[in-house]
Amino acid sequence: MAELRRQRIRKAAQAHGREPSAEVLDLASWTMVVTNVPRARLSLPEALVLLRLRWQVERLFRLWKEQGQIDEWRTKNPWRILCEFYGKLTAMLIQQWLIEEGCWQDPWRSLVKAAEARAPGSQSYHGRFV
């Protein structure tokens, strides 16, 4: 992994007409993970697995924000906001479960495209898919 990082660093530096410093090349052999989870609850191998999965989690939250609008609400009442958020989050979890059950065997699947697919007349009150 360190050598792959060094190759990327050299290629990026070359594209800008520079030579990477020895310090930058040395740092390429390090993987730094900053977390607020106590060491007793998360081992280094577990942290590295979570680090690899982070991008997928980010994509899932992006999908939920864009498609399910879990970060938008139509009121200023904090209790109603909480209820609307939990309702939308529940809908996104059910949708995700159904998509995974229906699309998991297809190697060409796209969970984002599957979330965009809908039956006629299944738009939510926002005009988005839920």
Res 13: pLDDT: 92
Q: Evaluate whether 24 touches 9 at the Cβ level (below 8 Å).
A: yes
Name the average pLDDT for the chain: 83
Q: pTM surpassing 0.75?
A: no
Task: Assess whether pLDDT exceeds 80 at residue 129.
Answer: no
Helices 78-103 and 44-67, packing angle to 10 deg: 110
* Choice between 125 and 49, residue whose per-residue pLDDT is larger: 49
Contacts of 116 (CB under 8 A, 6+ apart): 67, 129
Q: In this predicted model, what pLDDT tens digit does every residue of 77-120 receive, in sequence order?
A: 999 999 999 999 999 999 888 887 877 677 666 767 777 665 45
Confidence bin at 14 (pLDDT 50/70/90): very high
CA angle 77, 80, 81 (to 5 degrees): 85
CA–CA dist 128, 130 (Å, integer): 6
Q: Evaluate whether 115 touches 94 at the Cβ level (below 8 Å).
A: no
Confidence bin at 8 (pLDDT 50/70/90): very high
Structure tokens at 47: 């942290």
CA–CA dist 124, 127 (Å, integer): 5
User: Where does residue 64 rank: exposed (0-12), middle (13-18), buried (19+ CB within 10 A)?
Assistant: buried
Res 104: pLDDT: 66
